[in-house]
Amino acid sequence: MPAHGTITRHPDTLTYLCGEEVRQACAEIDPLACMHETLVAHAEGRTILPPEAYLGWEPPGGGEARSINMPGLVNGGLTAAGTKIINANPGNVEHGLPRASGLTVLFDPRTARPLCVMEGAHISALRTAAVSVLAVRRLVRPGARTAALYGAGVIAREHALMLARRLPGLEQIAVYDAVPGRVAEFERDNGAALAGYGVKITAADDARSAARDADVVIACTSTRRGYIERSWLAPGTLAVNVSLDDLTEEVLLGADKLYVDDWGLIRDDPHRLLGRLLREGRVREEGAATIGELLSGARPGRESEDELIVVNPFGLAVEDIALAHRVFRIARHRGLGTALKR
């Protein structure tokens, strides 16, 4: 194996991995271990995370489309470099298409030549859930048995399955989605798998009732307007805001502890509430911590069963790159992928 984790391959070919091949490789990876290593590396300054490049436009016929390009590099036992390209249009759902789709591209860290292009949706969903569950395992109050999920899409599915596998004692997940019929579809598709771990899905009648008595509340939607109120959350609740702005201002400002993944991303983000609160000085970096600092032991976790704790990860490109690098190594070992001539 050459230095820096570069995988030997023919210099005139580029590997393409389709979605099914990515899933096959991911089945051999512990995503929590990968995200733990990556977040600690980020907290210790062993990553490069440039600003995101954002392109937004109004498609013919109306709607809202966007493309985001997010490069990153992780230094460690293996050096992983590449970029994540994620495109989305909320209107796609009406036409039977996924709201978001994308690609992850890996580079040779010695030559900078592209090594591999792979379907990115599963990697994105898997690393998102892994970061949430890492935080949940460290911050949830002892004896937690119930969780609430807002949203019933792909991201919510990965969260539900990973919570069931990796959070001992979990018994019930309440699911709420504003779109009629989606929770029933979610239960039909995932109920049996979750039951195998002793976890039952219940459909919440409304957004407020989903949070009632929940030890963990996880928002996996695409809304840009906060609706989860402070009064919905019992003392000791852990709230994880995976999506844009499900949590209201009073929740973010009223939390006993707040954890993020990267303050620079939050400060530069022009759209989300937490970035605005930070720029206004109403949330202060020194009063919170990063998830990497939590995982490394540099900052404390839960110190009381009654603490309201909020985790607000924006999502880091280095997480996708690190997981994709492991996928590529397994794919090469298993003979997965298509060699494309340059």
> Do 117 and 176 share a domain, yes or no?
no
Distance between CA atoms of 180 and 64, rounded to whole angstroms? 22
CATH number, position 39:
3.30.1780.10
> Do 154 and 250 share a domain, yes or no?
yes
Work out the end-to-end distance of the chain between its first and last CA atoms, rounded to an integer number of angstroms.
23
Instruction: Reduce the DSSP state of residue 283 to 3 states and report it.
Output: coil
Residue 336: which domain range? 3-123+318-341
Contacts of 147 (CB under 8 A, 6+ apart): 163, 167, 170, 172, 173, 174, 214, 215, 216, 217, 218
pLDDT of residue 312: 96
> Do 109 and 153 share a domain, yes or no?
no
pLDDT of residue 1: 31
Instruction: Reduce the DSSP state of residue 257 to 3 states and report it.
Output: strand
For residue 162, is it within any domain?
yes
> Do 77 and 205 share a domain, yes or no?
no
Distance between CA atoms of 66 and 56, rounded to whole angstroms? 4
Instruction: Measure Cα distances from 26 to 23, 34, 71, 122, 293 in Å.
Output: 5, 11, 21, 9, 26
pLDDT of residue 5: 41
Amino acid 174 reads A
CATH number, position 293:
3.40.50.720
pLDDT of residue 212: 93
pTM: predicted TM-score of the whole model, two decimal places: 0.92
pLDDT of residue 12: 79
> Do 151 and 105 share a domain, yes or no?
no
For residue 322, is it within any domain?
yes
> Do 87 and 102 share a domain, yes or no?
yes
Quick one: which of 250, 247, 26 has its CA closest to 260? 247
> Do 46 and 111 share a domain, yes or no?
yes
pLDDT of residue 308: 98
DSSP conformational letter for 270: S
Question: What is the residue-level pLDDT of the chain in tens, covering all 342 positions?
Answer: 333 344 445 667 899 999 999 999 999 999 999 999 999 999 999 999 998 899 999 998 778 999 999 999 999 777 899 999 999 998 888 888 888 899 999 999 999 999 999 999 999 999 999 999 999 999 999 999 999 999 999 999 999 999 999 999 999 999 999 998 999 999 999 999 999 999 999 999 999 999 999 999 999 998 889 999 999 999 999 999 998 899 999 999 999 999 999 999 899 888 899 999 999 999 999 989 999 999 999 999 999 999 999 999 999 999 999 999 999 999 999 999 999 988
> Do 92 and 153 share a domain, yes or no?
no
Q: What total number of domains does the chain contain? A: 2
Q: Say if CB 217 and CB 246 are below 8 A apart.
A: no
